[in-house]
Amino acid sequence: MQLTKPRESFSPRALPEAARSAAPGSIIAGALVAVLTLMAGARGAAGSAEKGSSLSAARESLSKDRLYPVPFGSGETLVYTIAWLKIEGGEMTLRTARETTSDGVPVHRMTLIATSNDYVSKFYPVRDLYETWVDARDFQPLRFEKHAREGRYESDEVEEFDLARRIGSWREDRTPLPERVQDIISSFYFLRAQPLAIGQDVRVDMFSRGKVYKLKAAVLEKEKVETEAGVFDAFKLQPQLRENETAEDRNRGKLFLWFSDDERRLPVMARTVMPIGSVTARLRRITSGTKPPGPAAPAGAPGSMAQRGDPPVAP
């Protein structure tokens, strides 16, 4: 297995001469935004979103006591350092929590926060917040929100999922949804809950900004990944769009993800490869979540990873 070592911390003087002469903070911030664009969906035009009513999951055919098995617990917090080349540019945090809708359905609330560090913020402050609420019974999203603050750019967006009628809403658009769908944040967590094998693909239908994308994540190989949180044997995946991919999508760069080869399936590293260089998000700190004791998974769903020793398969 290859050993992937962590980035070193460098001062701004370590930047190439061309980068130093072109507002290095802006370049690093641009790299920070680029990695978020690939990991969490297209940036898109600025817009505003109205807050909707309290969440309602409906779908009485699904039992509130039988949940889709996942490898993480409520309260799990993962903190990453984001670096362009060897220059640290900011921090990203992934956090999960268990909540309940207004009609008593358990949901996973998943949050991604990305912030530029003090040095980059002098040139181009970045603070992005992405959140999704996922029905814990079958792991499909109910609502997604994005609140981006990047320099002078501001955007607030909401996507809502009517899973009973299979309709996705974004702004004024109403889009038919496939039988199973994820949003841009839940698709990342959904990958964690799937069996991984070298040479095989995981396929996900992903709704984003009024369109359904066919996402394919190819499992390329295993590597040892060294992080501040430890050394991990990890699967290396490359997510790619299978359909509806534009030239702009292809030019954004390539994204690679590393998930630990254990029952936690921790996302230990992400890397984008772009013309301006590689941007890496590497795990720095782990706070484990708490898995409440609960009943068996829904009929047709796999057993928990702790029980079986291998990850679940999508129902």
Residue by residue, DSSP assigns 230-263 as EEEEEEEEEEEE-SS--HHHHHT-EEEEEEESST
pTM score of the predicted model? 0.79
106 is a domain residue = yes
Tell me what percent of the residues of the chain surpass a pLDDT of 90.
Answer: 57
302 is a domain residue = no
274 is a domain residue = yes
Going by C-alpha positions, the residue among 177, 94, 62, 182 that lies closest to residue 134 is 182
- pLDDT (average), residues 287-315: 49
Q: What is the pLDDT of residue 150?
A: 87
Count of domains observed in the chain: 1
Q: Which of 19-33, 43-57, 190-204, 208-222 has the lowest mean pLDDT?
A: 19-33
313 is a domain residue = no
* Spatial distance between the Cα atoms of 49 and 107, rounded to a whole number of angstroms: 22
Q: Tell me the two tokens of residue 152.
A: 């002078």
182 is a domain residue = yes
pLDDT top residue among 16 and 98 = 98
* Spatial distance between the Cα atoms of 51 and 131, rounded to a whole number of angstroms: 13
240 is a domain residue = yes
What does the angle CA 59 – CA 60 – CA 64 come to, to the nearest 5 degrees? 100
118-157: buried (b, 16+ CB within 10 Å) or exposed (e) per residue?
Answer: ebbbebbbbebebbbbbbbbbbbbbbbbbbbebeeeebbb
Host H or E run for residue 127: strand 126-135
pLDDT top residue among 306 and 25 = 25
Q: What is the pLDDT of residue 45?
A: 54
> Above 70 in pLDDT, residue 203?
yes
- Tell me: the pLDDT tens digits for 147-163? 999 889 899 999 999 99
Q: Contact, 57 vs 103, CB < 8 A?
A: yes
305 is a domain residue = no
**What average pLDDT does the structure give for the chain?**
80
295 is a domain residue = no
Q: What is the pLDDT of residue 277?
A: 80
DSSP readout, 146-199? EEEEETTEEEEEEEEEETTTTEEEETTEEEE--SS-B-TTHHHHHHHTS---TT
- Tell me: the pLDDT tens digits for 254-286? 889 999 999 999 999 999 887 778 889 999 999
Q: Which domain holds residue 111?
A: 2-47+57-290
> Above 70 in pLDDT, residue 233?
yes
